[in-house]
Amino acid sequence: MAKVKILDKELSIASQFMAEIRDVNIQKDSMRFRRNLERVGEIFAYEISKTMSYEKKEVQTALGFSDEFVFKHQPVIATILRAGLPLHQGLLNYFDAAQNGFISAYRKHHKDGSFDIELEYLACPSIEKKTLILSDPMLATGASMVLAYKSLLSKGKPAHVHIVAVIGSSEGLEYAKRNLPNNVTIWLVALDEELTAQSYIVPGLGDAGDLAFGEKD
């Protein structure tokens, strides 16, 4: 079963960004909404960096030499298009030498109101024995994230996986925990209790993709 870390159990600057991301009067500014998601991605990157392996490296300064610690291996960062792009950019700002992967997933709705998760596109380097960071702003039902994770296994067996989402529902988190292995850590800023019949998180924030990039036709 996957492990879980929720950032808002301890107050930090992430709480300020979350307030702005949720606020209907602020999130109308799509540039600010994207930037806030990006900044949350940077916070996740910092927290995840504490779990990674380092090695000592001697670096030359202007006046001598200094022993510093650097990553043993860079992670692979992957995201689910399109809503995940700002969050992905925040992670990439800190893991700036990481390789990148992209997945296209969407809800295919049926007349009865139900839907299936469809994957259309996958581009990713090998993740064999690497640290994989997979991001999407919302962990609603958990189905998209689990399907994306399983599709990425076609690129190898990772050493560890970090699942990153801004907001999760209790139902989606439980589904993800049950369907992901022990070498997965799920990171959230906030956990909301309610999931509607249409699988939207309440209070949530709305449609992250539309808020970041405009409404779909």
- Residues 111-155: pLDDT tens digits? 666 667 778 889 999 999 999 999 999 999 999 999 999 999 999
- In this structure, whether the domain defined by 3-52+73-213 belongs to CATH 3.40.50.2020 is answered with yes
Other CB atoms within 10 A of residue 173 CB: 21
CB 45 within 8 A of CB 95: yes
CB 47 within 8 A of CB 5: yes
What pLDDT is stored for residue 187 in this prediction? 98
What pLDDT is stored for residue 118 in this prediction? 76
CB 155 within 8 A of CB 185: no
What pLDDT is stored for residue 109 in this prediction? 63
What pLDDT is stored for residue 114 in this prediction? 64
DSSP 99: E
Q: State the Cα torsion 181-81-106-2 to the nearest 10°.
A: 10
> Which segments of the chain have a pLDDT < 50?
none
What pLDDT is stored for residue 78 in this prediction? 98
> Domain ranges in the chain?
3-52+73-213
What pLDDT is stored for residue 198 in this prediction? 82
What pLDDT is stored for residue 138 in this prediction? 95
